[in-house]
Chain A
Amino acid sequence: MAEPAPDVVGPIVLDADDLNRVLTRISHEIIESSKGADDVIILGIPTRGAILARRIAKRVGEAAGRTIPVGSLDVTMYRDDLSMRPTRALGHTDIPASGVDGRTVVLVDDVLFSGRTVRAALDAINDIGRPKAVRLAVIVDRGHRELPIRADHVGKNLPTHLGESVRMKLTEIDGVDEIVLVREGEVQA
Chain B
Amino acid sequence: MIKHLLSATDLNREDAVLVLDTAAEMATLTNRSVKKLPALRGRTVVNLFFEDSTRTRISFEAAAKRLSADVINFSAKGSSVSKGETLKDTALTLQAMGADAVVIRHGSSGAPHRLASPGWIDGAVVNAGDGTHEHPTQALLDAYTIRRHLRNGHGDLSGLRVTIVGDVLHSRVARSNVHLLDTLGAKVTLVAPPTLFPVGVQDWPATVSYDLDSALPDADAVMMLRVQRERMNAAFFPSAREYSRRYGLDDRRMALVPDHGIVLHPGPMNRGMEIGDSVADHDRSVIVEQVANGVSVRMAVLYLLIGGARPDQPVAELT
Contacts and interface: CB of A to CB of B under 8 A. Distances in A.
Q: Is B a genuine binding partner of A? A: yes
Interface of A: 74, 77-78, 81-95, 113-114, 116, 123, 126-129, 146
B7 to A, nearest CB: 20
Contact of A116 (B33, B39, B319): B319
11 contacts: A77-B67, A77-B307, A78-B37, A81-B316, A83-B42, A84-B313, A85-B308, A87-B1, A123-B38, A127-B34, A128-B33
A84 B316 contact: yes
B277 interface: no
Nearest to B300: A90
Interface in B214-251: none
B36 interface: yes
The 4 closest A-B pairs by CB, nearest first: A87-B308, A84-B316, A77-B39, A127-B34
A56 to B, nearest CB: 23
Contacts of A123: 38
Contact of A87 (B34, B36, B304, B316): B304
B309 A127 contact: no
B70 interface: no
B309 A77 contact: no
Contacts of B307: 77, 82-83, 87
Contacts of B316: 81, 84-85
Given A77-B38, A85-B315, A146-B319, A95 B31 contact: yes
Contacts of B21: 89-90
B309 A85 contact: yes
Chain B interface residue count: which class?
20 to 34
Given A81-B316, A83-B308, A114-B319, 11 more contacts: A74-B25, A77-B307, A83-B42, A83-B309, A85-B309, A88-B308, A90-B25, A90-B303, A95-B32, A127-B32, A127-B34
A93 B32 CA distance: 11
Contacts of A128: 32-34
Contacts of A83: 42-43, 307-309
B33 A129 contact: yes
Q: Say whether chain A's binding surface is mostly helix, strand, loop, or mixed.
A: loop
B75 interface: no
Nearest to B18: A89
A74 B18 CA distance: 16
Interface in B289-319: 303-305, 307-309, 313, 315-316, 319
Interface in B22-60: 22, 25, 28, 31-34, 36-39, 42-43
Contact of A127 (B36, B303, B304): B36
A140 B304 CA distance: 32
Contacts of A82: 39, 307-308
B196 to A, nearest CB: 39
Given A77-B303, A127-B34, A84 B309 contact: yes
B121 to A, nearest CB: 19
Contacts of A81: 316, 319
Nearest to A87: B308
Contacts of B313: 84
A94 B31 CA distance: 10
A92 B43 CA distance: 24
A86 B308 contact: yes
Contacts of A86: 308-309, 315
A127 B304 CA distance: 21
A128 B308 CA distance: 23
A90 B308 contact: no
B118 to A, nearest CB: 21
Nearest to B100: A83
Contacts of B38: 77-78, 123
Contacts of B39: 77, 82
A11 to B, nearest CB: 23
- Most interface-central of A83, A94, A126, A128 (chain B CB within 10 A): A83
A84 B31 CA distance: 29
A127 B36 CA distance: 8
